[in-house]
């Protein structure tokens, strides 16, 4: 058994995974939790802020 679950897990608002809050980053816009995995992928905003930022391509 790993000891990852220390009660500080949070739901990432970009990918939806439960990741450690202590290793995540706040959304650049609204400050909601973004996990470190998304951050490493270059995601700095939550899904809602990304959707609001990106104009509809139509």
What are the residues binding Zn ion (CB under 5 A)? Answer: 12, 14-15, 27, 29-30, 32, 35, 38, 46, 49
Tell the burial category of 13 from Cβ atoms under 10 Å away from its Cβ (0-12, 13-18, 19+): buried
Shortest CA distance to 28 belongs to which of 14, 9, 16? 14
- Which residue number, 8 or 46, has a Cβ lying nearer to Zn ion? 46
CA 51-36-47 angle, to 5 degrees, is 10
- Which residue number, 50 or 56, has a Cβ lying nearer to Zn ion? 50
Minimum distance of Zn ion from residue 2's CB (angstroms): 19
- Which residue number, 1 or 4, has a Cβ lying nearer to Zn ion? 4
């Amino acid at each position: 058994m790993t000891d990852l679950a220390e009660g500080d897990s949070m739901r990432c608002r970009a990918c939806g995974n439960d990741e450690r809050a202590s290793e995540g980053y706040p959304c650049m816009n609204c400050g909601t939790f973004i996990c470190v995995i998304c951050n490493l992928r270059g995601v700095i905003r939550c899904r809602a802020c990304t959707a609001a930022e990106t104009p509809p391509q139509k």
